[in-house]
Copies of this chain bind each other. A is one copy, B any other.
Amino acid sequence: MEKIRVGIVGYGNLGRGVQSSIAQNPDMELVAIFTRRQPEGIQSSVQMVHMSEIESYIGKVDVMILCGGSATDLPEQGPFLASMFNTVDSFDRHAKIPEYFDAVDGAARKGGHASVISTGWDPGLFSLNRLLAEAVLPEGTDYTFWGKGVSQGHSDAIRRIAGVKAGVQYTIPSDEAVQRVRDGENPELSTREKHLRECFVVAEPGEDLARIEREITTMPNYFADYETRVHFIGEEELKQNHSAMPHGGLVFRSGKTGESSKQIIEFGLKLDSNPEFTGSVLVAYARAIHRYAKEGFIGAKTVFDIPFSYLSPKSGAQLRQELL
């Protein structure tokens, strides 16, 4: 079997997640990892290459998996690399997607390559479920819950409070709200009714814990309107139990058919490692866009445009027999 030759652009948490996913997919081969840092300083069993040399890999890499951030990296790297390689990314700024799509699509067309943007799980698998559920149940209401997962913004807000040494905040779907949706109640729920906030805080020695807790739970915008739970723990415990990157969430559509039949579609993720899961989605879509490129497709796609058969190394006949 000829392997799909893959490059990783950016070697943070997501890049490492992609690397470990490639190792699970025998039809894939990791050619090199491209980084803006000095490649000599990075410990890795894989070929590390400075970004400035990426053009010399034209023809040697079938798909580049872009693992930079959506704020500043991808708006520049996405179109630039799409002009030279087939690409896949997880651009996640919802409001900017149409603009980003056009930029990558234009660059890919000019260069004669194929790209898929905004894979991952939200955008990505969650978006797919929103589209499927809306198409099947045109009359209905959507609900998205996020978590249990770390919110960087809320963790930062805790750490800015005087006397706080370290802290982590988890956003958690409210069991009660989820149950009401599952039961078909079709409730009107604000973000604050759908989620609660759980904080693990390391205080400086001798601080007034009641004061810190009060400052957290009354903080406007971040916590004041939410059910917020604060736990004070030691530094060692924080390091040991709260340095993983879990995440997940739930997407529901609560619809109606016929006279008054309630129909509920639910999709959920419970992830021990957000970057490893997102990396696994990127790798599956790398397989798909490589196949489109081989078929002669030029331009950009999103997850909406790609049938699931393209994500799998199995043939159509095998899929029909084993999985339909």
The reply to whether B280 and A271 form a contact with Cβ atoms under 8 Å apart is no
Q: List the B side residues contacting A265 at CB < 8 Å.
A: 125, 268-269
Q: Name the residue on B nearest A135 (C-beta).
A: B311
- A96-139 contacts to B, CB under 8 A, are 97-98, 101, 118, 123, 125, 127-132, 134-139
Q: List the B side residues contacting A281 at CB < 8 Å.
A: 136
- Asked whether A211 is an interface residue with its Cβ less than 8 Å from the other chain, the reply is no
Q: List the B side residues contacting A262 at CB < 8 Å.
A: 270, 272
Q: List the B side residues contacting A312 at CB < 8 Å.
A: 131, 134-135
- Asked whether A184 is an interface residue with its Cβ less than 8 Å from the other chain, the reply is yes
- Asked whether A80 is an interface residue with its Cβ less than 8 Å from the other chain, the reply is no
Q: Name the residue on B nearest A321 (C-beta).
A: B98
- Asked whether A324 is an interface residue with its Cβ less than 8 Å from the other chain, the reply is yes
Q: Name the residue on B nearest A284 (C-beta).
A: B135
Q: How far is the CA of A18 from the CA of B131 in the complex (A)?
A: 20
- Asked whether A47 is an interface residue with its Cβ less than 8 Å from the other chain, the reply is no
- A214-271 contacts to B, CB under 8 A, are 248, 257-259, 261-271
Q: List the B side residues contacting A182 at CB < 8 Å.
A: 270
Given contacts A267-B267, A270-B264, contact A134 B323 (CB under 8 A): yes
The reply to whether A97 and B304 form a contact with Cβ atoms under 8 Å apart is no
Closest CB in chain B relative to A324 CB, distance in Å = 5
Q: List the B side residues contacting A302 at CB < 8 Å.
A: 316, 319-320, 324
**Chain A interface, DSSP helix/strand/loop, else mixed:** helix
Stretch from A19-27, A149-157, A165-173 at the B interface:
A19-27
- Asked whether A295 is an interface residue with its Cβ less than 8 Å from the other chain, the reply is no
Number of copies: 2
Q: Name the residue on B nearest A268 (C-beta).
A: B266
- Asked whether A276 is an interface residue with its Cβ less than 8 Å from the other chain, the reply is yes
Given contacts A136-B280, A324-B304, contact A266 B263 (CB under 8 A): no
Given contacts A97-B320, A138-B25, contact A125 B131 (CB under 8 A): no
Q: Name the residue on B nearest A281 (C-beta).
A: B136
Closest CB in chain B relative to A110 CB, distance in Å = 20
Q: How far is the CA of A270 from the CA of B266 in the complex (A)?
A: 8
In the complex, which of the residues B137, B248, B309 contacts A131, with contact meaning CB atoms closer than 8 Å? B309
Given contacts A263-B280, A266-B269, could you give 14 more A-B pairs where the C-beta distance is less than 8 Å? A20-B257, A24-B257, A118-B324, A125-B136, A127-B323, A128-B132, A182-B270, A184-B270, A184-B272, A257-B277, A262-B272, A263-B271, A266-B270, A304-B323
Please name 5 pairs of A and B residues whose Cβ atoms are closer than 8 Å in the assembled complex, sorted by A: A135-B308, A248-B264, A261-B273, A265-B269, A266-B266
A residues neighboring B (CB under 8 Å): 17, 20-21, 24-25, 94, 97-98, 101, 118, 123, 125, 127-132, 134-139, 182, 184, 248, 257-259, 261-273, 276-277, 279-281, 284, 287, 302-309, 311-312, 316-317, 319-321, 323-324
